[in-house]
Amino acid sequence: MYIRYLTFALGLTAFVLAGCSDKPQKEEAAEVSAESAPVAATAEDATPTAESNADPVAAERAAGRMIEIDTPKGKFNVWTRKVGDNPSIKVLLLHGGPGATHEYLKNVDNFFPGADIEYYYYDQLGSYFSDQPDDPSLWVIDRFVDEVEQVRLALGLGPDNFYLFGQSWGGALAMEYALKHQENLKGLIISNMMASGPAYDAYAEEVLMPQMDPDALAEIKALEAAEDYGNPRYEALLMTHHYVHHVLRLPPEEWPLDVIHGFEHINPDIYIPMQGPSELGISGVLGSWDISEEIHKITVPTLVIGATHDTMDPKYMEWMAEEIPNARFLLCPDGSHIALVDDADVYFAGLIQFIEDVDRGTFPGEE
């Protein structure tokens, strides 16, 4: 997920709320403590309490189900929440980051229920609604893949109903899962994610950066060279010259609170080692990650979603859909990295059509 985490999100939250002071319902929804820490649960299903209902984050956490997973460092709990009921269509949503949360994906609520799609929100280990162990050895791709498989088993998902959706980092995780466990899948959705960290970095360097104001880019580069990522000027430059063009193409005051909260709750102890600290490129674990020579092995019905203004190269993503034998490409012409918000009608029409085609047995191909 191509975005600064805590400093940016907290500042943007204050900005949005200041602009919404005449809308009491939004003020109430925004009364979320950024200092709230996840509480591990032992019961699979929790019941909301009067106390949790006073805090939207606590209420949502209480309404979910904690699933115990095994890791090389012991047992931990990850949070999930089921919405809807459809025995043949069950979608597990993998958020980005790494280390973000399910919150920014909530526009799904405005589309999936009307299409009778059962879906599961899920915060990966280390993310805000789940346990957050302080052990860097856990933040590796193979362990995340194993975690997804344990969650699948706990939820009872299988090849007759299991669609795996991944956005940004979640798309990388979904591809890695498919390469190892595609026999469990009915369908795969790769949203706003390239299959190569180096190719992603090259697109930022060769295409996105030259589009920026050269003085602004020079100042951003200078701040990055000084590792001054917390400088308010750095955040302001990125918002003006990058975020509103390539992350979410809306004025900052119109960013949905769910999106802001999702960024506010990013865990930097995962994000930085895996994505790297810089906004204009990628380093860390994902900097050298490249499965572009492997994706042809994915044979399950697959939808690849790109966007014209994304941080990810839409032409590369179209190539991915050609490389995967049983895939379709969906382009969101007005979308950016979070096209599920800024080009939502196109995004969800194509996504729902894909799921329905697979469910009816009419996929592959356009009608």
pLDDT (tens digit, 9 = 90+) per residue, 28-38? 333 333 333 33
User: 131, 146, 201, 310: which is the annotated catalytic residue?
Assistant: 310
241 is catalytic: no
Higher-confidence position of 223 and 53: 223
310 is catalytic: yes
pLDDT of 4 > 70? The answer is: no
Give 150's pLDDT tier (boundaries 50, 70, 90).
Answer: very high
Q: Interior CA angle at 331 toward 329 and 333, to 5°?
A: 170
User: 123, 130, 146, 168: which is the annotated catalytic residue?
Assistant: 168
Cα end-to-end span (Å), the chain: 33
Name the DSSP class of 264. H
Secondary element (H or E) of residue 169: helix 169-181
Q: Which residues contact 104 (CB under 8 A, 6 or more apart)?
A: 95, 96, 258, 259, 261, 262, 263, 338, 341
Chain centroid offset of residue 334 CA: 19
Q: Which residue has the tokens 């769910």?
A: 258
Higher-confidence position of 235 and 297: 297
320 touches 190 (CB < 8 A): yes
337 is catalytic: yes
Could you give the domains of the chain? 6-360 (3.40.50.1820)
Lowest mean pLDDT among 156-170, 239-253, 271-285: 271-285
Mean pLDDT score, 15-23: 44
Question: Residues 225-239: pLDDT tens digits?
Answer: 998 988 999 989 999
Question: Residues 80-129: pLDDT tens digits?
Answer: 999 999 999 999 999 999 999 999 999 999 999 999 999 999 999 999 99
Q: Which residues contact 123 (CB under 8 A, 6 or more apart)?
A: 78, 79, 80, 95, 101, 102, 129, 130
Mean pLDDT score of the chain: 87
**DSSP symbols for 4-17:** --HHHHHHHHHHHH
In whole angstroms, what is the distance from residue 338 CA to residue 99 CA?
16
pLDDT of 275 > 60? The answer is: yes
Mean pLDDT score, 264-279: 90
User: 278, 337, 342, 343: which is the annotated catalytic residue?
Assistant: 337
The first and second tokens of residue 119, run together, are 């879906």
- What pLDDT shows up at residue 102? 98
pLDDT of 333 > 50? The answer is: yes
